[in-house]
Amino acid sequence: IVSLWEYVAGWASHFSPVSYFLCSGQHLITAVADHLFGLKTTSWELGRFRSVIELDSPSVTAEQVAAIEQSVNEKIRDRLPVNVQELSLDDPEVEQVRGRGLPGDHAGPIRVVTIKGIDSNMCCGTHVSNLSDLQVIKILGTEKGKKNKTNLLFLAGNRVLKWMERSHGTEKALTAMLKCGAEDHVEAVKKLQNTTKLLQKNNLNLLRDLAVHIAHSLRNSPDWGGVVVLHRKEGDSEFMNIIANEIGSEETLLFLTVGDEKGAGLFLLAGPAEAVETVGPRVAEILEGKGAGKNGRFQGKATKMSRRAEAQVLLQDYVSTQSAEE
């Protein structure tokens, strides 16, 4: 009848009640997976929410998972007793335990944990005294593990209830946000993702077209030949580069910014190479950002868009000094 052996060193008694539920849960699943399908447990991790058992197999089928879950819950309903026995080191039975992996230098009493009628040789911490204490085990599913291993995710006891409570909360929130029942949540999110993708694509096309138009109107600006400034909240690096490319100015200093007027954003300077090289780093400094560039382009990130006017004054001063020198 006594078919399961384990040794557990003295520290095991310090396990919290929470982990001892999980230990027994792990123990039971390990034993059943081995018994039904010869799936050996190679390691496990008892987590705060869900726990994981690593099985020594590249795959575990859904049918196997269902059979394991059914069997462990049957044993819980059968209220199988769990016995814990302490053996001293000179007990002849210790030899059997030693054969199952007791470290040679182990000292102190040895704990032997037995679940009636279940065979396993894995070991763990403290256990429940009766499998009925486990209440229920839910196997959530499998995930690909390390090389040729499969991880089995499970919940035991009270955590099943906690998980359900949490899942229900999430489901309720999603139902309110997506305005459809739980069975349609995934489809609704897919639809939203599709819509977002389409909108992003349209937005990008519009920004591109807009950039071309802006470039043409800037060419007719009264500031042409001096410093031309443009800020637009919506936009990105590509938007600014399209404008700069369209203008292709050698004689005008172009100062473009996108992003939050009072917060962070991006900037781009374009124009005569020497001018851009000189003022670029200073503009980056004023905007409390960073940038880099070459060949008449300097661009970067800014954290203080609110100081744009200061940067503009710097550029205008630079241009007027240059023209005075000429």
Ligand X SMILES: *[C@@H]1O[C@H](CO)[C@@H](O)[C@H](O)[C@H]1NC(C)=O
Task: Catalog residues that contact ligand X under the rule CB under 6 A.
Answer: 58, 79, 81, 130, 132, 147-148, 187, 190-191, 194
- Whose Cβ is closer to ligand X: residue 23's or residue 76's? 76
CA 142 to chain centre: 18
- Whose Cβ is closer to ligand X: residue 196's or residue 221's? 196
Question: How far is 131 from 121, CA to CA, in rounded Å?
Answer: 18
Residue type for position 242: I
Residue 307 CB neighbours (<10 A) = 16
The least distance separating ligand X from the CB of residue 148, rounded to whole angstroms, comes to 4
Residue nearest to ligand X (CB): 130
The least distance separating ligand X from the CB of residue 299, rounded to whole angstroms, comes to 34
The least distance separating ligand X from the CB of residue 147, rounded to whole angstroms, comes to 4
Q: Which two tokens stand for residue 108?
A: 């102190």
Question: How far is 305 from 311, CA to CA, in rounded Å?
Answer: 10
Burial class (CB in 10 A: 0-12, 13-18, 19+), 110: buried
- Whose Cβ is closer to ligand X: residue 165's or residue 187's? 187
Question: How far is 244 from 256, CA to CA, in rounded Å?
Answer: 9
The least distance separating ligand X from the CB of residue 26, rounded to whole angstroms, comes to 20
- Whose Cβ is closer to ligand X: residue 31's or residue 211's? 31
Residues 6+ apart with CB under 8 A from 100: 5, 6, 7, 121
Residue 142 DSSP label: E
The least distance separating ligand X from the CB of residue 283, rounded to whole angstroms, comes to 43
- Whose Cβ is closer to ligand X: residue 77's or residue 100's? 77
Angle between helices 17-37 and 158-178 (to 10 degrees): 90
- Whose Cβ is closer to ligand X: residue 43's or residue 132's? 132
- Whose Cβ is closer to ligand X: residue 57's or residue 249's? 57
The least distance separating ligand X from the CB of residue 83, rounded to whole angstroms, comes to 10
Buried b (16+ CB within 10 A) or exposed e, 57-96: beebeeebbeebbebbbebbeeebebebeebeeeeeebee
Residue type for position 194: N
The least distance separating ligand X from the CB of residue 43, rounded to whole angstroms, comes to 15
